Structure 1
């Protein structure tokens, strides 16, 4: 009999909600500081959003992977490759959107290649292979080697600065500056190819946590062990930070340990309140988001891009609505936050309609 974990649906929904709020402020210059990424080294709650999504991908895999054990390697690989290509392509098309510019097909020469969905796709692909062929013990060994070797590679082939790191150097050589993210003032992709290596460990961490929950059951001992191990990882991360700083944009090894540790504690708290105590009166809003996470994330991104494309009185619809509908009467910081909430609620409404009609988009 399959046990349903409400906590996992809500955890996924909470993460999607925070992701949308972070990605759609009315003005970045007047955004509440916890909703901004750390400038470089350091950590904010915003830096937890993406690794948590990977962690949740891993927990979801702990439910689906056992079903694949009876499949041949060929069928398994076909399923994994298909899903990887679809997610990667969706991410790439999102950056190419709206496809046309000045009446002509938009050039691919400056389209970003790596990104959020692309990283999810690559991490899912490699984590699936590792867990399939090397099993959990092999995955743990891979995680240790990956985190240690990543630190060595960064220190040997560059430094830990924005302009001199090995992640940037590899992407420059592999795809060129025109296909990279430019939001930090220079061509540098925080979802670059090299930093995908430690990010795979976030998925493995989620998988191991999900498997442990299923095998050990929803009880106090299980949650105590998860909480203790999460606290241990946080302690390790803070110690490692002294030698290898916590840095989301470089996805440093200390960052991986910190985020997995926090996620273990969060999932323990959610399982305790939602699955054990049944304190679930407030959860439906987040369940809606958690049932169609990929679709709702894409919807939010395409909505933001579309608002930037349309012009109202000489400025983008995004800026006009933020300024005239929210900031003008709520003030810069509160108005900026209210605009982000409006984007979240718009996407939630679509998700609500889909849920009412039992429409769930899965890849």
Structure 2
């Protein structure tokens, strides 16, 4: 299928990336604050949605991480695809792909442990950034060295192979087909091969084994990116929206069926979870693409674009800069004159806006962390 030769940025993708990161940079706290001070049923429901299930299940908060990985995949046909079309060999591009993946692993280690701050035996090596780096890296390698049909075979093989491994591998002392935190094969192997400590002692939600099916999440993004990059004369934009929406619904239906045999579980990144999170991510991308790039409603996007253009910075910076202190220093005095309920919500909004102002300074001065 012929593709467009341009590699222009999709405003909808930058906006969705910023929208996604907004919720882990303080956005979710708005609902928690409203639920606390008002007791409104809808606020309590939304606050609950921005928590993780103890084990099996799916809530809105579980979508943030895989959507970011999915979007990393969407950008691949635009970044790597354009260079392949110009005749750059995969052997030249793979160096940058591997470098990017390893840098994200390194940044994840710093995020978890600081620099020379944690004893080697107590360091946590798995991380959100490491999963994005490794899963994204392998998804890009598959993209570089395979055709479209082979990529779909890889996608299906990853999901089915992970399912077979998790259900049939016998964990010593537990047996096969048991997916509790103590007995599942992924956690068992992680305990044997990962140095340092695991996040939950016996299990790490960003463990090495469960990174394998996350490659399929990146591939889902690549499939969507290939569709969006296809020349508009071949597939009109409205049709692209329809295809994205249809793909999202089909993915969700498949995940619901698979859930009966292989529960939706973010901690294990089960195959059903891949389809569930990927389905919602595809629907969100279709919605943002339709509103922004098809209907051309763009004025509202700036707030999220400022965040999305420096997504790794907004993720990491909260670990090292106390924005709560700054927000309190700037707005705490004013908020003290308001009723307690207003002040509680106002504190969260002030925190978000201080973070956004910092991101805007970076954006205005074109300071972007590119990995």
Write the deviation string for residues 257-280 of structure 1: whole angstroms up to 9, x where unpaired.
111111111111111111121222
CA contact (8 A) 1:24 1:343 kept: no
Q: Give the Cα–Cα distance (whole angstroms) in 1 for the partners of residues 112 and 339 of structure 2.
A: 33
> 1:239/1:89 Cα in 2 relative to 1: closer, same or farther (>3 Å)?
same
Structure 1 residue 351 displacement after superposition: 1.2
8 Å Cα contact 1:88/1:121 also seen in 2: yes
1:26 Cα deviation after fit:
12
Name 2:26's counterpart in structure 1. 21
2:158 to 117, 132, 146: 146
CA distance in 1 between partners of 2:348 and 2:105 (Å): 26
* Distance in structure 2 (CA, Å) of the matches to 1:134 and 1:255: 25
In 1, Cα distance between equivalents of 2:66 and 2:193: 24
Match of 1:246 in 2: 264
Q: CA deviation at 1:342?
A: 4.4
Pick the aligned partner of 1:360 from 333, 347, 368: 368
Given the alignment, which residue of 195, 204, 209 partners 2:219? 204
Measured in 1, the distance between the counterparts of 2:72 and 2:256 equals: 25
Please list the CA deviations of residues 91-124 of structure 1 after superposition, one character each: whole Å capped at 9, or x if unmatched. 1111121644xxxxx3121110011001011012
d(CA) in 1 for partners of 2:121, 2:270: 30
The partner residue of 2:202 within 187, 191, 194 is 187
Question: In the alignment, does 2:48 pair up with 1:33?
Answer: yes
Q: Return the alpha-carbon distance in structure 2 between the equivalents of residues 55 and 338 of structure 1.
A: 33
Conservation of the 8 A alpha-carbon contact between 1:112 and 1:181:
yes
C-alpha distance in 2 between matches for 1:41 and 1:340 = 30
Q: How far apart are 1:50 and its partner, in Å?
A: 0.5
Aligned position for 1:163: 182
Deviation readout 1:34-61 (Å, 9 max, x if unpaired): 1101111111100000000000000111
**Contact 1:24-1:339 within 8 A present in 2 as well:** no
SS in 2 for 1:199: helix
Please give the alpha-carbon distance, in whole angstroms, between the structure 2 residues aligned to 1:111 and 1:23: 28
Task: Give the whole-Å Cα distance in 1 for the aligned partners of 2:271 and 2:180.
Answer: 16
Where do 5+ consecutive residues of structure 2 fail to align?
1-5, 37-43, 172-177
Deviates more, 1:112-121 or 1:91-100: 91-100
Report the counterpart of residue 118 of structure 1 in structure 2. Answer: 130
Asked if 2 retains the 8 angstrom alpha-carbon contact of 1:34 and 1:44, the reply is yes
Match 1:258 to one of 276, 281, 295: 276
Deviation at 1:86, TM superposition (A): 1.1
Q: Paired residue for 2:108?
A: 91
Aligned in 2, Cα 1:136/1:329: closer, same or farther, shift over 3 Å? farther
Aligned counterparts of 1:340 and 1:201: Cα–Cα separation in 2: 36
Q: TM-score, normalised by structure 1?
A: 0.84
In 1: Cα distance, 2:348 partner to 2:184 partner = 33
Answer yes or no: is 1:267 the counterpart of 2:285.
yes
Partner of 2:251: 233
**Aligned residue pairs: how many?**
339
